[in-house]
Structure 1
C-alpha cells in the first residue's frame, strides 16, 4: 500500500465513531516478508511429523461428514485430551480452549476486565497484552523490570500490591527475552493480589521448550482459584495455522469464560486437528528437542561472536550488544534470513530454526559483524 493510500485510509478511519481508547493504535503484526529462512515470529520451524500429519488428515476427513452440523460446543473430547497431556491431576473441568492463546487471553479480559478495570504486566513482554487490553476497554498498566529485564519476587509483589489491578499477566518464558520466571515470583504475586482479588495469568506459550527442571506454574494451581496458566499448540505442536490455545484453571474460571465465548467458537476441524495432534505428542516432542539444541547452539554461537544472548527457555533467542540493529536486520534479510527487530535498543530476536537455518543465521551474523570490525 502506498503512503498516500495509507494516509487516505487513516483519514477515513479517523472519521468513524471509533472508541477513544482505540484511536491512534496500530494493529499487531510482524513484517510479512518473503525470505528463504523465516526466523522472525517464533514458529515451529520443523513442521508437523508425518505420523501426526496422517492422523490429522484422517481425523479431519471424518469430521467432514458432519460439517453441516454445529460442532461440540463444549469441545469435551479436546478438553479431556488436553487434561491428559498436561497431567498434574487436571480434569476436563479445569481446561478451556479457544482459537489461539490470544483468544484465550481476550476471553479472560472480557470476563474479568473492562471499563474502569486494569491489567498489569511487565514490559518488555508480549506486545499483544496492551492491544488485548485496548480491545476489551481495559486499562493497561506497565510494570517495571530490572535493567537486565529480570523480575524478582519482591519487586513484582510490591508493584502488584501498589497497583491493585483486576488482572496480572506474567509471561514465562518471557517474550521477547526468553527467560523463565522462578515460581517464587508467581507465588509472591498471587499473595500480593489477595486484597484486590486479582486474576493472575501465567502465559506459558513456550513452556515445552524450557530447560530440564524448569517448573511450570501448573504445579501451583491447587488451592489458587484465581490463578490461570495459559498454553498454546502453535509452538511445540507446530500448529500455528490451526489456531488452538488453551488454559488450565479452577472450574469456576472456565464457567466464567462460558459467559463471554461465542457460540460454537471452536470449529469441528480445529477440534479434530488438535485431538489427533495430542495423540502423537511423543513424535512432536522429538522435534522440540532438536529445536532446543539449535536454540542452545545459537546462544553459544552469538556469545562466541561477542554478543550477549539471554539465557532462553523458549524456541527463540534474544540478544544484545548489537551496535546497529537495523543494519544487521537488513543485512540478514538481504541474505535471505528474516529475524525480528523487537524495538529494544541494541537488541534483536531470532527463532531457533532447523540445523540448516541456524547455520545460515550464524554464518551471516559472523559476516555482518566482521564487516563492522567486530
Structure 2
C-alpha cells in the first residue's frame, strides 16, 4: 500500500512543512544563493587535493573528534586574541547554530530573532523543539538598540539571534544594538556574521565584544568569502565554556577527516581565496549604484548580495512575477518571501551585466506564463 509523508507518525509541528532550500535550476546566471561566483584557484585546488589525499590511507580510523588543529587555524585567522579553546567547527554554520539551540534551547525555551532575517533560524529552532518569537524591524529593515531591548525585555528569550550583516537585507548592525542586547538578554546572544568579510570599511565585528561577555557567540562560515560552500565548514567563536557546552550535544566524529584537511588547506591559502572579496564588493556596489540610478529602492548592503524593491514593476510589483520574468531571461535570483522585494547575489562582472540587462528588459512587461516552483 503506498505510503506518503502524511501517513507516517511524524511530529505534528512538522506536518505540512517543506524542506528548506533555494531552487537548484540549470540557468545560465545563478545569483540566488549568495555563493562566491569565482571558482577555487588552481594552486588552492592542488593544495586541497594533496591534503585530502594524505588522509585517504587512514580513512579506516575515525577523525580527530575535537578538530583541534582546524580550530587552531581558525583562531589564527580570526585574531582578536582568540585561541583554540574559543573556537568550534561543524558542517556549516547551520550545524553550529543547531548545536547552540540543542545546548541552550529546547522544549520550554524560546529563541528571538528580528525579521526579516535568516530564514533558517526559526527552522533550526523548530527542529530542536525551541519556541520561536519573530521580532520586528522598522519599515526600512533597521533595528535600534531601544527597540531591540524592548523586545528582549518583553519576551525574555533564552537565545537571541542577531545577523550582521543581515540576510536578506544586507545591513550591518550598529554595535550599540549588540551592546544593548547583551546587557538586557537573560540568556545567550548569537551574532551571525556569515557575510562579515564583505562588510564595508569601518564596519565592526562582534568578535571585539567577546572579552567579558561569556554568553556572546559569534558564528561564521567559509562558504561565502572563501568560496568553500561545497566544503561545508562553519564555526563559532565564544568563551571556552560555550565550546564545552556544544560538545555535550555534538555527534561523535561529526567533522570528517577529509573536511578538516580541506578546510585547513583552504585556510593556509586564505590570501588567495579572499582575493575575490574586493571584486565581489565592487559588483555589489555597482548593483546598488545602478539600481539606485534607475529609481529602484535598495537596502544598504554590507554583504555579497543586494535586496531590491520591485515596486513599480509590472505586474503590480509582485516579486513572484518579476522573479519568473528574470528566470525567463536566464537569470536566477532569490524570492525570499518578502512581498515586493527580491535578492540578487553579487557575482562576476559578466553576471552583473546579465542581471542588469534582464532587469531592464522585464521592468515594464508582464511575467511570462512558464511557471517554476519558487
- State whether TM-score is above 0.5: yes
How big is the shift at 1:17?
2.0
TM-score, normalization by structure 1: 0.94
Residues 1:84 and 2:84 aligned together:
no
Return structure 1 stretches of 4+ with deviation > 4 angstroms: none
| Equivalent position to 1:229, from 196, 215, 218 | 218
TM-align CA RMSD: 1.4
**What's the counterpart of residue 319 of structure 1?**
308
Report how many aligned residue pairs link the two structures.
Answer: 361
Q: Which moves more between the two structures, 336-345 or 229-238?
A: 336-345
- Residues 316 and 351 of structure 1 are in contact (CA less than 8 Å); yes or no, is this contact kept in structure 2? yes
Residues 1:21 and 2:13 aligned together:
yes
Question: Structure 2, unaligned stretches of length 5 or more?
Answer: 312-316, 367-374
In 1, Cα distance between the equivalents of 2:15 and 2:318?
Answer: 32
Q: Deviations over 1:23-60 (max 9, x none)?
A: 22222111111101100011111121222222111111
- Residues 310 and 342 of structure 2 are in contact (CA less than 8 Å); yes or no, is this contact kept in structure 1? no
In 1, Cα distance between the equivalents of 2:58 and 2:264?
Answer: 17
In 1, Cα distance between the equivalents of 2:228 and 2:302?
Answer: 20
How big is the shift at 1:272?
0.4
Matches within 5 A, 1:261-340: 261-322=250-311, 323-340=317-334
Question: Structure 1, unaligned stretches of length 5 or more?
Answer: 1-8
How big is the shift at 1:315?
0.5
Residues 1:167 and 2:156 aligned together:
no
In 2, Cα distance between the equivalents of 1:356 and 1:271?
Answer: 34
- Residues 230 and 246 of structure 1 are in contact (CA less than 8 Å); yes or no, is this contact kept in structure 2? yes
Relative distance call for 1:297 and 1:10 in structure 2 (3 A) is: farther
Q: Which moves more between the two structures, 129-138 or 46-55?
A: 46-55
Q: Deviations over 1:153-181 (max 9, x none)?
A: 11001111111111000011100000000
| Equivalent position to 2:34, from 42, 49, 53 | 42
In 2, Cα distance between the equivalents of 1:335 and 1:163?
Answer: 45
**What's the counterpart of residue 191 of structure 1?**
183
- Residues 118 and 166 of structure 2 are in contact (CA less than 8 Å); yes or no, is this contact kept in structure 1? yes
Residues 1:200 and 2:194 aligned together:
no
In 2, Cα distance between the equivalents of 1:98 and 1:151?
Answer: 30
TM-score, normalization by structure 2: 0.94
| Equivalent position to 1:247, from 236, 239, 254 | 236
